[in-house]
Amino acid sequence: MRTYDVAIIGAGLAGLECASILSKEGMSVIVLEQGAISGGFFQPFKRRGVLIDSSVHYIGSLDKGQFMERFFSYLNIMNKVDFVRMDNDEFETIYLDGKPYPMAMGHLNFVDKLSEHFPSERRGLEKYIDSIKKISLFSIESVRRGEGFSSDSLDAVTKPVELAISSSISDKRLQRILTGNSIIYCGESALTPFYVHAMTTNSYIESSWKIRGGASGVTEAMAESVKSYGGEVRCNTEIKSILINNMRAVGVETFTGEKIMAKRVISTLHPDLTTKMVGEESGLRESYRRRVSELKNSTSMFCLYIILKRDSLEYLNKNIHIQGESPLMISFQPPLRGSLYADVVTIITPMNFSEVQKWSNSKPGLRGDDYLQFKSEFSEVLINRAEEVLANLRQSIDYTCSASPLTFRDYVKTPQGSVYGVMKDYNKPLSTFLPVKSRVENLYLAGQSVNLHGVMGVTFTSLLTCSEILGNGVVNKMGL
Ligand SMILES: Cc1cc2nc3c(=O)[nH]c(=O)nc-3n(C[C@H](O)[C@H](O)[C@H](O)COP(=O)(O)OP(=O)(O)OC[C@H]3O[C@@H](n4cnc5c(N)ncnc54)[C@H](O)[C@@H]3O)c2cc1C
């Protein structure tokens, strides 16, 4: 029987990144994915012949020399994906009490544009920008050293967003505007550690990009590069357990009983799922299992996908955030080249699993009429709210469909449809930081639950995981 150098569980962004790096560096790699296609949250779907992105709306730090650009260049995928740079002076509009405020790209530009609305806070904005830049630089430096975050070295881990922002900014409205995009990190200002806000926001301020033709272009290009380096990506292969011999991971077993042997295993799943895949013989302590099972998860989302009538609604090359009891984000998919009008608009808002709990025993497509009614009524609420800032929206709608926490649970298997994995809490910095080298010999962790979610956060962790296996030299090769 063949023994791979590395078997990777999950072909979402994390699994494909790790596989690309390791196979490029000469290791034999197999990626095992339960779904029918790879990509995880990057996977698209089609309705009426139109390709719709299920989740990912934009990616940060893609200007020449920035973090994601260097990484994608190392994997040779920059020229394989049609990245679209968003509006420089307003890549996001934050609506607060019906009034729009711009978030601009470039640190100085960001300060300039918001200072026009809050002239007396210019110094405060400069201080805020310095703080998020510093945290991001520090984090990249720690990847270079192969260290990841540590609560000793990173003050931002132990301070909530609210407190950190108010130490620079005294205007309450401006404080709310700066967290106006909190949906992208499921932020709760009083709980979320500042580094989550800082790294995510800083990455988008550096530069923000959409993807024409579907975000899946990124994961498809990665899957291709894995194959070009001799690696394998197998879909429809759900892993049931991690095989252990002498307290070391030696492979994985599928639900159909197939055993795939490997010198090392990387799991990109939620740590609780990973822990449950490891049997008693691993020697994992009960206290560790309990700690992982008690980790609180980030909330889920409701996503409304709207296919628009032809040439009816102008494409906006930015995202819109509406503050309110629950935040709402409107994002436009880049239209085919040359068109000024959008084909697809997505509206997302956080939703707790409890809202769909009563259908939790159902399967996709078989959840019943009352579930469809629930989704339809909730969609109406979102359209009404979005209409406040997009007057033509309703009359431009051709077709709608939606995803609820059940959709995410069933398609990517996240516990209760949690969208960003483990919820980070400044009160418990140590328990929400899991090292990439697990407590089981030869079993490594990656994916959005380990350090930070999102494209940048997941990539950050993939680099740490691969450095643990290959040594730090690999990060230096990327010129980070
Ligand atoms: C609505 C929404 C919008 C978002 N928007 C953005 C955005 O605009 N920008 C951004 O940067 N980030 C965004 N994110 C976050 C980003 O998509 C994720 O953080 C990232 O894609 C997670 O990648 P991952 O590989 O860790 O996890 P996943 O994508 O969940 O990959 C895990 C994979 O493992 C597979 N799997 C699960 N169980 C098994 C098993 N037993 N055996 C084999 N395979 C298994 C799953 O099917 C999945 O493919 C968004 C997320 C959501 C939900």
In a shared domain, residues 205 and 225: no
Cβ–ligand 1 contact at 239 (below 6 Å) = yes
Q: Is 31 near ligand 1, meaning CB less than 6 Å away?
A: no
Rounded to the nearest angstrom, the distance between the alpha carbon of 15 and the centre of ligand 1 is 10
Residues 238 and 267 in one domain: yes
pLDDT at 329: 98
* 183 domain residue, yes or no: yes
pLDDT of 187 reads 74
Locus of tokens 């009983």: 257
Give the pLDDT confidence score for residue 236 in this predicted structure. 98
Predicted structure pTM score: 0.96
95 is a domain residue:
no
The closest-lying atom of ligand 1 relative to the alpha carbon of residue 456 is 11
User: Taking every pair of C-alpha atoms in the chain, what is the biggest distance, in angstroms?
Assistant: 69
Atom of ligand 1 nearest to the CA of 277: 41
- Which residues constitute the domain of residue 236? 3-45+58-81+214-295+424-477
User: For the chain, which ranges sit under pLDDT 50?
Assistant: 152
List CB contacts of 479: < 8 A, sequence separation 6 or more.
Answer: 70, 74
Q: Flag whether 439 is in a domain.
A: yes
Give me the pLDDT at residue 186, please: 80
Residue whose CA is closest, atom 21 of ligand 1?
A: 41
Does 445 share its domain with 410? Answer: no
pLDDT tens per residue across span 123-141: 999 999 999 998 888 787 8
Q: Is residue 332 part of a domain?
A: yes
Q: What pLDDT does 458 receive?
A: 96
Query: Which amino acid is present at 262?
Result: A
Indicate whether 159 belongs to any domain. yes
Separation of alpha carbons 329 and 54, rounded Å: 14
Whether residue 49 contacts residue 78, with contact meaning beta carbons closer than 8 Å, is answered with no
Structural domain ending residue among the three candidates 152, 184, 209 = 209
The predicted pLDDT at position 154 comes to 61
Mutate to test the pocket of ligand 1, among 37, 56, 202 (most ligand atoms within 8 A of CB): 56
Q: 154, 176, 209: which is the final residue of a domain?
A: 209
Instruction: List pLDDT tens digits, range 66-88.
Output: 999 999 999 999 999 999 999 99
302 lines ligand 1 (CB under 6 A): no
For residue 454 and ligand 1, the question of a CB distance below 6 A is answered with yes
Residues 436-466 pLDDT 10s: 999 999 999 999 999 889 999 999 999 999 9
Residue 109 CA: distances (Å) to CA of 102, 113, 122, 179, 200: 10, 6, 12, 18, 18
- Count of domains in the chain? 3
Note the pLDDT of residue 167. Answer: 94
Q: Do both 220 and 306 map to the same domain?
A: no
Please give the distance of CA 435 from its chain centroid, rounded to a whole number: 19
Which of 55, 62, 252 has most ligand 1 atoms within 8 Å of CB, for mutation? Answer: 55
The reply to whether 52 falls in a domain is no
Q: Same domain, yes or no, for 8 and 35?
A: yes
